[in-house]
Amino acid sequence: MKKFLLMLMLLSVGVLSASAQILRAEELENYAKERYGEKWVDAATNLGSQLSLDKNNAITYTQIIECPGKTKNQLYVLLNYWFTATFNDANSVIQLKDKELGTIIAQGCVAGIAQHVGGSNSYNVSIKPVIKCDIKEEKVRVTYTVPFYSVVKVIGGGWVGALSGSSTVRSDESWSLDQCFPFVAKDSHKKTSSKALIMAHAFSNVVMDKIEECVKNGLSGNEGDNW
């Protein structure tokens, strides 16, 4: 029983440690359900027909945001403010800031976006998307990339192991998206991969919306020159 409780605690850690600055995992799940429904496999099948992996077998989204009247410097200051406030812990970090080049790159983290407890093992899936902003006069290009799923696999952490009281071993894995449903038909973690895709896609929408709101209206709404 103690090992069973430990297994449940491991699965819940990701939800509690998700980046609160953008959206917690449970909030993201509610957001995803509202837009894509609760049948993860069906939603992933539909979404998969509209998506293709890039040359690195990653999911990449790009959006160009028009910002009339805002200079490159103004946009950089706004985005630097947003990135600094958002990516400020050990799991979500800024990787590059170059004002002259007009580029900011950060790696985010949303832990515990999908979980599965099987007979032998348990799995806890997280995403670590790379968010890049290229800044020009009156324009920002946002690139959001999920290179793989980060997975904590607990060997012996499934139902059978919990009931038998066998020992468990943690294993950190990276699941390549081209080996996950719906990009491949045969996937032993089909439901888990489906939910991970929908959650990753939903998070891209949230990030894009947050960045657009920032560059158009400011992070706090009081960044204007009238002070």
Q: Is-contact 139 64, C-beta < 8 A?
A: yes
In sequence order, what DSSP letters do the residues of 129-168 get, joined into one string? Answer: -EEEEEEETTEEEEEEEE--EEEEEEET-SHHHHHHT---
Give the residue among 219, 202, 221, 226 at the shortest CA–CA distance from 23: 202
For residues 129 and 135, the answer to whether their CB atoms sit within 8 Å is no
Overall pTM surpassing 0.75 (yes/no): yes
Q: What is the pLDDT of residue 172?
A: 96
- Neighbour-count burial for 40-70, b at 16+ CB within 10 Å, e otherwise: beebbeebeeeeeeeeeebbbbebebebeeb
DSSP states of 80-95 as a string? HHHHHHHS-SSSSEEE
Q: What is the pLDDT of residues 1-55, one digit of tens each?
A: 444 334 433 434 333 333 335 778 889 999 999 999 999 999 999 999 999 999 9
pLDDT at 135 over 80: yes
Closest CA to 31 of 193, 200, 218: 200
3: nearest Cα among 195, 168, 201 = 168
Question: Has domain 2-215 been given CATH number 3.30.530.80?
Answer: yes
pLDDT at 223: 54
User: Using one digit for the tens of pLDDT, what is the confidence trace for 75-126?
Assistant: 999 999 999 999 988 888 999 999 999 999 999 999 999 999 988 899 999 9
Query: Nearest CA to 48 among 206, 196, 174?
Result: 196
**171-194 confidence digits (pLDDT tens):** 999 999 999 999 999 999 999 999
pLDDT at 203 over 50: yes
Amino acid occupying residue 94: I
Degrees (nearest 5) of the Cα angle 203, 78, 66? 70
Q: Rounded distance, CA 19 to CA 213, Å?
A: 19
Handedness of CA 104, 110, 113, 117 (dihedral sign): positive
CA distance linking residue 128 with residue 148, whole number of Å: 8
What integer pLDDT is reported at residue 96 of this predicted model? 96
- The residues spanned by each domain of the chain are 2-215
Q: Is the per-residue pLDDT at 220 higher than 80?
A: no
